[in-house]
Structure 1
Amino acid sequence: MANYTLLWRHKVPGKKATGRPPRFTVDEVIATAIRIADTNGLEAASMARVAAELGAATMTLYTYVPSRADLVDLMVDQVLLERNLSSDDSIRLFAGRTREMYAAHPWLTEVSLVRPPLGPGTMAEREYLIAAMTGLGLPTMKINRAALAVTAFVYAFAREAGEDARLRQISGQTTESWWHAHGDFWENWFDVEAHPAMTDLWNAGGFEDQAQDAFEYGLDLLLKGIDGSVE
């Protein structure tokens, strides 16, 4: 069960403090865990490691965050919230910030957002997208499906950016250098006769696009299609 008291800690009036004041805040615990995960992956951000970074005993950390699952939920919702979405933003800005989020926090690729933490970060995203689609004048029954279509497209590309960053983090090798390292495949193993469409496109220079080009192209088509469905 999600810990809504922690997820919505800034919305819930705090209890009057009694006794010795805490050494640090839940926000500091979350920030420390995110910093560790950004550098070393999600598994590294264990309760013991976070406690050690804060200079506390592991059991002390459980008085701030009761479980590792709660900590991961808090980490995820925090980075979602840090996109700072507002009603003045465009869908393109949401898309760009989401890709940047995954690139900056590649450990997100280790987390499923099919069942996201129901905190301020998740709710801010949904409210923003629903408001954006409503503002286009879409019929009621198309608003949520359009928002979900945009979400699915953006997150697919964003996760790819995160996976790229994570692989670079693990191997120390960029994806570009990985492809260069496999150059002998095209010379010695690729069968041009069995793959004529690919071969023709290669000879015409059609493989020069970057991931960003495909992202913008697909987003353009998607948004034009949504806009064209306004009745």
Structure 2
Amino acid sequence: MERSGGGDPRETLRLLWRSPQTRSGRGRPPKVSLDKIVAAALAVADRDGLDAMTMDRLAASLGVGTMTLYTHVPGKAELVDLMVDAAWQELDLTRSGSWRDQIEHYARQNVTLHGRHPWLRAVSTVRPPLGPGLLSRSNFLLAALSMTRLPAAEASAASDAIVTFVDGAAATLAQYTQAERISGQSDEDWWAARQVFWETVFDPARYPAIEQAWLNGGFDRSAAEAAAHALDLGLRALLDGIDARVPR
């Protein structure tokens, strides 16, 4: 797993916020820009995964030498931060309405974002890139939650809880699509090939709750449909819990 926040902090912040770097007016203009490098890195990771997004491969996709990239970005650690924050900037955070409407909109946006960039689940953002994407997301969620009039500490905790749950659920949903694309095998075919497990291995007496859930229709959905239902149910329960803490 990659971890954000591992690069040089000053250089990373300069690049995230596109602070100008003093350059001599002499010489050839650069062949590529930082924005083009980040866009190309996103494209490689979207198509082939984050592990495949090496500096050599990225340079080849841009038609430049690898050393050209290092004149724009120090290394992969800083580039991963730029990629993550660039992805977060794709979120549409212009929704109005009630605080719940806005949080639900954020969740839908996040599902779409992870579907577009499934590699996001492979990056730990415990130490996040401090860029425009992060701040816009945090500002949107806190502004929505301010409508509840929760104390500041609880609103902040609620924002963190929403991010933790929604990001995890959205990443899980994205994995189903990615697994089918990479393997060429549908989720239904994958389970069908393992039907022998239920016929010869599974012991209902040992796992009676699973057996009862099965008999009562608890598993009458595809895995992807079950994950989408879990996201919907979990988000509603989370927002209900937050609402229950709102001062009346």
- Give the TM-score normalised by the residue count of structure 2: 0.86
Equivalences for 1:19-98 in 2 at 5 Å? Answer: 19=26, 20-86=28-94, 88=96, 90-98=102-110
Aligned residue type for 2:243: D
| 2:117 corresponds to 1:117 | no
In the comparison of the two structures, how many residue pairs are matched?
229
Residue 59 of structure 2 contacts residue 66 of structure 2 at CA under 8 Å; is this kept in 1? yes
| Aligned-partner Cα distance in 1 for 2:50–2:153 | 38
How much has 1:123 moved relative to structure 2? 1.0
- Stretches of structure 2 lacking an aligned partner (at least 5 in a row): 1-7
Query: What residue ranges of structure 1 are gaps of 5+ in the alignment?
Result: none
Counterpart of 2:16 in structure 1 is 7
Q: Within 2, Cα distance between the matches of 1:176 and 1:75?
A: 33
Q: Distance in 1 between matches of 2:105 and 2:173?
A: 16
Q: Deviations over 1:96-129 (max 9, x none)?
A: 1112212211111221011111111111111111
Please tell me whether the aligned partners of residues 77 and 117 of structure 1 are also in contact (alpha carbons under 8 angstroms).
Answer: yes
Structure 1 counterpart of 2:211:
199
Which residue does the alignment assign to 2:3? none
**Superposed displacement of residue 164, structure 1:** 2.7
* 1:152 paired to 2:161: no
In 1, Cα distance between equivalents of 2:132 and 2:186: 34
Residue 5 of structure 1 deviates from its aligned partner by: 0.9
Q: What is the CA–CA distance in structure 1 between the aligned matches of 2:63 and 2:20, rounded to whole Å?
A: 28
Query: Cα distance 1:35–1:157, how it changes in 2: closer, same or farther (>3 A)?
Result: same
> In the alignment, which residue of structure 1 is the partner of 2:188?
176
12, 20, 25: which one pairs with 1:18? Answer: 25
Residue 135 of structure 1, aligned match among 135, 139, 147: 147
| One-letter identity of the residue aligned with 1:141 | A
Amino acid of the residue matched to residue 90 of structure 2?
E
Please state whether the residue corresponding to 1:185 is helix, strand or coil. helix
For 1:230, the equivalent position in structure 2 comes to 246
Aligned-pair CA distance for 1:177? 2.5
State the secondary structure of the residue aligned to 1:97.
helix
CA distance in 1, matches of 2:41, 2:49: 10
| TM-score normalised per structure 1 | 0.92
> For residues 124-161 of structure 1, what are the alpha-carbon distances to aligned partners after superposition, in whole Å with 9 as ceiling and x for unaligned?
11111111111122122311111111111111202212
Counterpart pick for 1:107 among 110, 114, 119: 119
Q: Secondary structure at the match of 2:25?
A: coil
2:5 paired residue number:
none
